[in-house]
Amino acid sequence: DIVMTQTPLSSPVTLGQPASISCRSSQSLEHSNGNTYLSWLQKRPGQPPRLLIYKISNRLSGVPDRFSGSGAGTDFTLKISRVEAEDVGVYYCVQATQFPYTFGQGTKLEIK
Amino acid sequence: QVQLQESGPGLVKPSETLSLTCTVSGGSLSSSGYYWGWVRQPPGKGLEWLGSFSSGGRTYYSPSLETRITIPVDTSKNQFSLKLTSVTAADTAVYYCARHYCTGGNCYGLGGSWGQGTLVTVSS
């Protein structure tokens, strides 16, 4: 199985400041078809997960452009350019390059 | 806009079988090119993928559960289910059904649409 490791596990951020979450996979997530199936999900308490970004850097329709994803191979990053109060929650990276799909442990974003 | 809704008992006894149903509306399980699946989140813990199936009939399960899990599909009712046998307290979780995100003829993993989730507690 591919192991996904996120850092940090907790990220206190001041409103309006940037935030960055790192995700590392135990092996390359590049599929033989050339795609890299790395997504980022946001999880708020009491709500289902919300897909923010797929295929490393593609924002889903309706996701604010302050969210961006980058990376390649085994190292990926989610950045929030200016954190807003509604961004509080837990962020997960997840790989879908091969079954079984695996999630990172989650990074809790909170406001200082 | 496809919608998913989980249903089933909120309390299951240890050693019994957990059974949940996901009812799909606004879309068809028979539509080609889509994947559907189950994810859970134990209290205070992270997300865990349980299993997925394709509209073409292929099914994939988490290796840690594959001796206990099945995902039956009833296309006539536009429903799919989760059956998890021999449950223990470790199976207590919020269970979500989901459709994978697919666009341009490709699917990119979990998250296109989600049910609201249902809490299942395993306790005697």
Interface probe with A: pick from B1, B49, B119, most Cβ of A within 10 Å? B49
Does the distance separating the beta carbons of A39 and B101 come in below 8 Å? yes
Q: Provide the pLDDT for residue B57.
A: 86
Does the distance separating the beta carbons of B108 and A55 come in below 8 Å? yes
pLDDT beneath 50: ranges in chain A: none
| Kind of pairing between the strands at A10-13 and A107-111 | parallel
Minimal C-alpha gap between A68 and chain B (Å): 17
Sign of the torsion formed by the C-alpha atoms of A50, B29, A103 and B42: positive
Of B46, B60, B112, the CB nearest to A105: B46
Q: How far is Cα A66 from Cα B52, in angstroms, rounded to an integer?
A: 31
Averaged over B100-123, what is the pLDDT? 91
Token pair, residue B69, equals 């899990």
Averaged over B36-53, what is the pLDDT? 97
3-class DSSP assignment, residue B91: helix
Q: How far is Cα A99 from Cα A13, in angstroms, rounded to an integer?
A: 34
Q: Provide the pLDDT for residue A44.
A: 94
Task: Tell me the CA distances in angstroms from B70 to A10, A48, A104, B10, B73, one per residue in order.
Answer: 35, 22, 24, 19, 10
Contacting B residues, span 40-59, partner chain A, CB-CB under 8 Å: 41, 46-49, 52
